[in-house]
Amino acid sequence: MAKAKKTLQPRELASLDVETMFRRLSDAMPGNWRDDHGGAKGPKGQPDAFRACVACMLSAQSLDTNTAKAAEQLFAIAKTPEAMLALDDDTLIDAIRPAGLYNNKAKSIRKFCAALMERGGTVPESRAGLMEMPGIGRKCADIVMSFTFGANVIAVDTHVGRVCNRTGLAPGKTEAKVAERLDKRAPEWAKAEGHFWLIQFGKKICTSRAPKCSDCFLRDLCLWENKAR
């Protein structure tokens, strides 16, 4: 009988180190600033839950600048689910073309709008309710909950996921798994601003290529750095 392969469990920071890490992040990283002073801003920046959901759907595998252009073009001609369903396919696709994957995204947007209309046009405010909607996954649900509804939720994007896996804060094979683990491990006081601290840390210090470990204020806690020594 063949021996079962051993599954290596991801290393995690101790609970006390998680608390310390968030304390340091809160001191060093900008929070949810809504001005032009360099702080983190909501990644979708839309004025209502419907447009936030659509913009999030457009952002899949798209650069922020391309997503912003596609969202601007789309919302210039349709700002409601009724208006979007009234668009013909060519018009919808042309509007969102900058975001890429426009054929699939157009279909997802139509399904989302149709489902929304079936429930009276109201976007659900809970994670479970949002994830029941076509095209809305865990990341998009958390982004809408955080930025639109003001829930204390840490949304996990590429930067946050990298930091969580690399440091041992909340390892997981997918962004959804990281989000589940992070929700359990992050202290409640840190959840309102945690996304902003982590995303700025990931952009400025714990970068994808050539992370600035020698200048990192989390170096003594980070499992990736300690393992690399």
- Residue 1 pLDDT exceeds 60: no
pLDDT tens readout for residues 98-146: 999 999 999 999 999 999 999 999 999 999 999 999 999 999 999 999 8
Clarify whether residues 135 and 182 are in a common domain.
no
Cβ pair 154, 195 in contact under 8 A: yes
Last residue within a domain, chosen from 105, 126, 147: 147
DSSP letter at 80 equals: S
Last residue within a domain, chosen from 125, 147, 169: 147
- Residue 220 pLDDT exceeds 60: yes
pLDDT tens readout for residues 22-36: 999 999 987 654 444
Last residue within a domain, chosen from 110, 128, 147: 147
Averaged pLDDT for residues 34-48: 53
191 is annotated as an active-site residue: no
Instruction: Specify if 33 maps to a domain.
Output: no
pLDDT tens readout for residues 136-185: 999 999 999 988 898 999 999 999 999 999 999 999 999 999 999 999 99
Is the pTM for the entire model greater than 0.85?
Answer: no
27 is annotated as an active-site residue: no
Instruction: Specify if 207 maps to a domain.
Output: yes
- pLDDT, residue 30, reads 76
Say how far apart CA 190 and CA 186 lie, in whole Å. 7
CATH number of the domain where residue 115 is located: 1.10.340.30
Cβ pair 92, 83 in contact under 8 A: no
Clarify whether residues 138 and 106 are in a common domain.
yes
- Residue 4 pLDDT exceeds 60: no
- pLDDT, residue 45, reads 66
Cβ pair 154, 194 in contact under 8 A: yes
- Residue 74 pLDDT exceeds 70: yes
Say how far apart CA 150 and CA 49 lie, in whole Å. 11
CATH number of the domain where residue 200 is located: 1.10.1670.10
Counting residues of the chain whose pLDDT is more than 90, the rounded percentage is: 78
Instruction: Specify if 101 maps to a domain.
Output: yes
The catalytically annotated residue of 105, 139, 142, 177 is: 139
Clarify whether residues 102 and 143 are in a common domain.
yes
- pLDDT, residue 10, reads 58
Clarify whether residues 134 and 180 are in a common domain.
no
Count structural domains, the chain.
2
Instruction: Specify if 59 maps to a domain.
Output: yes
Averaged pLDDT for residues 79-92: 97
Instruction: Specify if 6 maps to a domain.
Output: no
Clarify whether residues 122 and 203 are in a common domain.
no
- pLDDT, residue 46, reads 79
The catalytically annotated residue of 157, 191, 203, 204 is: 157
Instruction: Specify if 68 maps to a domain.
Output: yes
Helix residue ranges, H only, 168-229: 175-185, 194-204, 223-228
Instruction: Look up the domain containing 162 and give its range.
Output: 15-27+153-228
- Residue 2 pLDDT exceeds 60: no
